[in-house]
Structure formats: structure tokens, C-alpha cells
Amino acid sequence: MTAKKIKPLKRYFLTILYTLKMGISNTKLWLGKRLGLIRSLKIVPFAGFGNREEIFFLGRVLKDKGIGVSQLEDSQWKNFKHMYKRFVTWEIPEVEVKATLGNISTTACTDDEGYFQISLKPDPNYLLNSPWQKIALELSSQVLKKQGDVKATNRVIIPGKNSQYGIISDIDDTIVPTGATRVREMLKNTLFRNAHSRIPFPGVAAFYQALQKGTHPAEINPIFYVSSSPWNLYGFLMELLEIHEIPKGPLMLRDLGLTKEHLISGSHDKHKLIQVERIFEIVHEIPFILIGDSGQHDPEIYLQVVKDYPGRVKMIYIREITSGRREKVIATGKKIKQLGVDFLLVKDTMEAARHAASQGWIKDTEIDTIGQQKIAVDKEEKSITYE
């Protein structure tokens, strides 16, 4: 069978599978409303970003399952139940969500998976007196008989005129050990641990805090997180950042579900490249420091970013987590340097921090703080036991 014949055949089967999937989802939603299984809805906003002319963010409308915050003492079974609720969702398609900033509003409609996308143009006279702006969200459509008001507030970051640079970081095996290259370990970490028991690499929180502060006393440098983890983990990841005092920022994740074009929505590499370049397009007034790891293809993705956006990347830090790709990573690093961007393959956070301090991107005084936190996290990780 030729390649030309395989493509239409694949598209045909994907269309059938997608039609079956949507039939099941629509039937479940109809039964859920009719039998009273859906009692309340929620808008799940995903933190966004923008400039003075454009604000961008995503969100989702779902059945409210009431997933609370985790506790360090939670059992593996309780962690699993929470994760199950995150992944087994009741999506609310084809409803309108209204977004308002000041006196400017816009609406968006949810897609088949309950996702919506907001692109809002702020009033030029609106006073942006903080890097973080609050966007009011409200569900405009009536879904349930006794629905009540369904509202939420989202936060979007707009870099100030004195921001020195932005930071874009991967999450898995860059901030927190995940075992993304080892399926069994990754599943164990994802399903049976929570935001308390998932410990970031030593010193990461203090290093990212230092990068966010930079050397300008009156401004913060925006941080963005780009990962191929599913949007179902958004709440978990935001909780992890907060618990471990890692600066919050927009998370750009992806939907792993079946679509008309893909059995699993998009590739890891394509997704991350699109999201990084989306940030570059909207936050276009500052250069960026890119941080990733050697486990998957972060160096190759960042190389493409350097090619596509010459002059926009200040530095690339890659955490070395596996020796299997070392030669490829070093070769990619050489290509990046040939394009005029510095590249550093580091064994730990301290190595990256010392380099950043030597370049004047963070204060020298932060090195001691990062080192002290590294020691403290090492001790904390050794003290945690798992059932």
C-alpha cells in the first residue's frame, strides 16, 4: 500500500473514532444533566499573558468535582482519587464565556472539549498599575436549570517597561524530577504523589525567584512554563509551584485527547515550539532566557527558536538528566553558539545560578540563598517517606 493511500485511510479511521468519542461524550452530558449528576459547573481559567495591545489566555468549562488542595500526609490512594477526578472530566461544549477587563469585554465559545480561547484588546487608557491584571469571567449560557452564577477570575501578566528579560522553562525533569523518559516512573510520580511529595530539584525555587527579581528593584521579569503535560494537570502544577515557592507564571500545556487529525493531539516537540513562539510573538519587547533538560528534545526545540527569532534569546540552560543523549545535546549546543547565543549544559541549579550571576542577570548575593535552599531541599527530600 502506498503512502498516499495510507494517509486518507488514517484520516477515515480517525474521523470514525472521533465521531464515536463525541457521541459518547454528548450522551454522557445529556444523561448527566437529565439525571442530576451535574449539579454545578466551573470555569477553569489558565493564567495568561499579553502586552498593552493584546491579552491572550485559555480556559475550560467543566463539571465541578470539588477537588480540594492536597496535604503532605495524603495517602497514595487519596492522591490517585484526586488524579482520577482530574482526568475523568465532564466537558461543557458550545457555551459562551464572557471576559472583562475594565470597560472592555469579549466572548468566546467552548469547543467540543470545553476549551475556550480569549484574545482581548485592553482600553488604551486603562491603567496597568501592576504586572498581573485580573480578568473577570462569567458563563453567559444556561446549561443547568438551577445553575446560578458561574464566575471566575483569571490573572494575566503584562511585562512592564523595565523588565530586563523573560524566562521560559520546561517543568518535567527541569523543575521537578518526573522520569519523563521512563514510563513506569513517570506514571508512579503522576498518579500516586501530590504537590507536597513531589519535590523540585534543589535550589530551583530560589534560582527562579532570583531570575524573576533580576537586578531592577522596581520591576519583575515574567516567567512562563511550557510543558507537554496535559491541561488536566494545570491545578496540580499551580499548586506545586505555590507550595514550593516557585514563582507563578502562565503554564502552556496541551490537550492529549483524540482529535480529527491526531490519535494523540500533536507531538511533544511541535507543541512546545508553537507555545514558545506564541509567547515570543505576544511578549515581543524583551529577550528571553530558556531553560530545559536533556531528557527529551528541549535543546533542538530551542535551537529552532533561536533560528526563528534572531536576537531574542539571551541564554539557554539545559539540565543534564541522562547520559544517553549527551553527544546530541552537545552538538546542538554548538549549533546554538554558532548563532550567537550562549548555551550551558549544567549538572545542577548552582551551576546555572553562578553563570547567571557572572553575567549580571541576578545579584551575586542570591548565590548564597540558592545554595542554602539547595541544602534544605536535599534534607527535605530525604525525610519524606511514601506508603
Direct distance between the N- and C-terminal alpha carbons of the chain, in angstroms, rounded to an integer? 52
More confident residue, 129 or 222: 222
Dump the DSSP string for 103-133: TEEEEEE--TTSEEEEEE---TTS---SSEE
Any idea how long the chain is?
Answer: 387
The domains found in the chain, sorted by start residue, are: 41-157 (2.60.40), 166-383 (3.40.50.1000)
Looking at residue 124, its pLDDT comes to: 83
- DSSP state letter for 176: B
Residue 253 and residue 278 in contact, taking contact as beta carbons nearer than 8 Å: no
Looking at residue 180, its pLDDT comes to: 54
Strands 41-50 and 313-319: unpaired
The three-class DSSP label of residue 62 is strand
Amino acid at the residue 140: S
> What is the tens place of the pLDDT at every residue in 11-44?
777 778 878 888 888 888 888 888 888 889 999 9
pLDDT bucket at 255, cuts 50 / 70 / 90: confident
pLDDT bucket at 45, cuts 50 / 70 / 90: very high
> Is residue 3 predicted with pLDDT exceeding 50?
no
Residue 201 and residue 176 in contact, taking contact as beta carbons nearer than 8 Å: yes
> What is the tens place of the pLDDT at every residue in 178-208?
865 566 666 777 777 778 888 899 999 999 9
* 32-41, 223-232, 338-347, 350-359: the lowest-pLDDT one: 32-41
> Is residue 315 predicted with pLDDT exceeding 80?
yes
Residues 316, 317, 322, 327: what is their CA dihedral angle, to the nearest 10 degrees? 40
Compute the distance between CA of residue 208 and CA of residue 71 in angstroms, rounded to an integer. Answer: 24
Residue 330 and residue 163 in contact, taking contact as beta carbons nearer than 8 Å: no
Looking at residue 33, its pLDDT comes to: 85
pLDDT bucket at 141, cuts 50 / 70 / 90: very high
Q: Torsions phi, psi of 51, nearest 5?
A: -135, -170
* 65-74, 100-109, 299-308, 334-343: the lowest-pLDDT one: 65-74
pLDDT more than 90, % of the chain: 58
The set of cell numbers assigned to 286 is 524583551
On average, the pLDDT of the chain sits at 87
Query: CA angle at residue 256 from 197 to 22, to 5 degrees?
Result: 130
- Chain centroid offset of residue 249 CA: 8
pLDDT bucket at 265, cuts 50 / 70 / 90: low
Compute the distance between CA of residue 67 and CA of residue 47 in angstroms, rounded to an integer. Answer: 19
